[in-house]
Amino acid sequence: MKPFLALSLLILAGCVQAREPQLVAMNQTGDSMLTCDQIAVEYKANTEVARSKIAKNEANDRKELILGILVWPGLVDFKNADGNEGNALLDRNILLVGLAKAKTCLGIATWPGQPERYTLNGYRIA
């Protein structure tokens, strides 16, 4: 009876739903009203958050692969919420740079470089 209970719990654990990504919209209401300073602040904040989310997701991918192989395939998160959210922030930054150039903002060249986009095993995600 105990092996049946353990197997049942293992199967249920494999059915746990992964977190849905909360993607930031590229275009947002009020973008045209942003000042150069506001654009720079948002760009820098997006870059840091994206860097953190992408690094976290890449670390989780390694852990999930090991768990999926050794324990149960259902433990692998195929939604990659953090990586996709990081990529959405990088997409927003592309729009912000274009907006800053259109407003002839100064200092764009000094803004921090963007991290590499999140990919899954070398394949670009959305």
Tell me the residue type at 37: D
21 inside domain: no
12 inside domain: no
Model pLDDT, residue 20: 86
125 inside domain: no
Residue 89 CB-density burial (10 A; 0-12 exposed, 13-18 middle, 19+ buried):
buried
Model pLDDT, residue 94: 97
Model pLDDT, residue 87: 95
- Tokens representing 43 are 């760009």
Model pLDDT, residue 80: 82
Model pLDDT, residue 60: 73
Model pLDDT, residue 13: 53
120 inside domain: no
DSSP assigned state of 32 = G
17 inside domain: no
Query: What's the total number of domains in the chain?
Result: 1
Q: For residue 78, what are the domain limits?
A: 43-114
77 inside domain: yes
Model pLDDT, residue 72: 63
Please state, in angstroms and rounded to a whole number, the distance separating the CA atoms of residues 46 and 112. 10
Which residues of the chain fall below pLDDT 50? 122-126
Please state, in angstroms and rounded to a whole number, the distance separating the CA atoms of residues 38 and 118. 26
104 inside domain: yes
Phi/psi at 112 (nearest 5 deg)? -65, 145
Model pLDDT, residue 40: 97
- Tokens representing 48 are 């840091």
